[in-house]
Amino acid sequence: MSEPRFAGGDILVYAKVRDPEARGRLSQMLDDLPGERVNANLYEVSTADWDDGLWDEEVQRMQSIIDPDVDTLVFWRVIKGKLVRTCIAGRFN
């Protein structure tokens, strides 16, 4: 088992997109955000120093790329000491 490491961000995004073009667009968008890619479907995004509302704008951009009927987009973030899960598309809806 590998050694535990601190996360590279404060929001964890899981994205599974079927359409190759949409997957590429979303992947590029997430790669352009501060943070790091964990694997092909998981990203750590660092938003600690962002202005209010900026993350919501990014979520809207993600929603415009995915197909909510066949794709999965879930993110987890810590808010007031609690881990909060938001499901934009997928089985947790």
Give the residue extent of every domain in the chain.
11-89
CATH architecture of 11-89: 2-Layer Sandwich (3.30)
Quote the pLDDT of residue 92. 60
- pLDDT 10s digit of each residue in the chain, 93 long? 678 777 667 899 999 999 999 999 999 999 999 999 999 999 999 998 999 899 999 999 999 999 999 999 999 998 888 889 999 887 665
Name the nearest CA neighbour of 46 among 27, 60, 33, 28: 33
List b or e across 54-80, with b for residues whose CB sees 16 or more CB atoms inside 10 angstroms: ebeebbeebeebbeeeebbbbbebeee
Quote the pLDDT of residue 32. 96
